[in-house]
């Protein structure tokens, strides 16, 4: 059993979030500290703490999330110019909330490499 996080509270509507999409498997909402004009987080409703905790049984879920990111980029008007999809995986990866999430960032030209 994984520990509850702030994202679990957002899924259960215990705290507010600017939700942009939801289906039976996933939720997408705007990041509270946006790093780009468009910064949305896509999370599974299943509480997988980090990418290293995902397993073969999550294959369909992970593919679903990635396709959701693609659709959201189109919906949010950043698909044509381009965008970045990031998963911070574990402490050295910069992960601070231990509920798996994909960052969708766009609306400006992004630098590489990240810090």
Residues belonging to the active site: 101
DSSP 25: S
Does residue 95 belong to the site contacting ligand DGP (CB under 6 A)?
A: yes
- Of 32 and 80, which has the nearer Cβ to ligand DGP? 32
Q: How far apart are CA 8 and CA 99, in angstroms?
A: 8
- Of 40 and 80, which has the nearer Cβ to ligand DGP? 40
Does residue 37 belong to the site contacting ligand DGP (CB under 6 A)?
A: no
* String marking each residue 55-94 x if it binds ligand DGP according to CB under 6 A: ---------------------------------x-----x
Helix, strand, coil percentages for the chain (3-state, nearest 5): 25, 20, 55
Does residue 97 belong to the site contacting ligand DGP (CB under 6 A)?
A: yes
Least distance between ligand DGP and beta carbon 15 (Å): 6
List contacts with ligand DGP (CB under 6 A): 6, 17, 29-33, 41, 88, 94-97
């Amino acid at each position: 059993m994984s520990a509850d996080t702030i994202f679990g509270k957002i899924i259960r509507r215990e705290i507010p979030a600017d939700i942009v999409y939801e289906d039976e498997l996933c939720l997408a909402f705007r990041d509270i500290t946006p790093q780009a004009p468009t910064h949305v987080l896509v999370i599974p409703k299943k509480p997988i703490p980090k990418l290293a905790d995902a397993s073969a049984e999550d294959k369909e879920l992970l593919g679903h999330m990635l396709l959701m990111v693609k659709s959201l980029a189109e919906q949010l008007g950043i698909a044509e110019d381009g965008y970045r999809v990031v998963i911070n995986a574990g402490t050295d990866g910069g992960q601070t909330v231990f509920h798996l999430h994909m960052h969708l960032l766009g609306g400006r030209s992004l630098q590489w490499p990240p810090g």
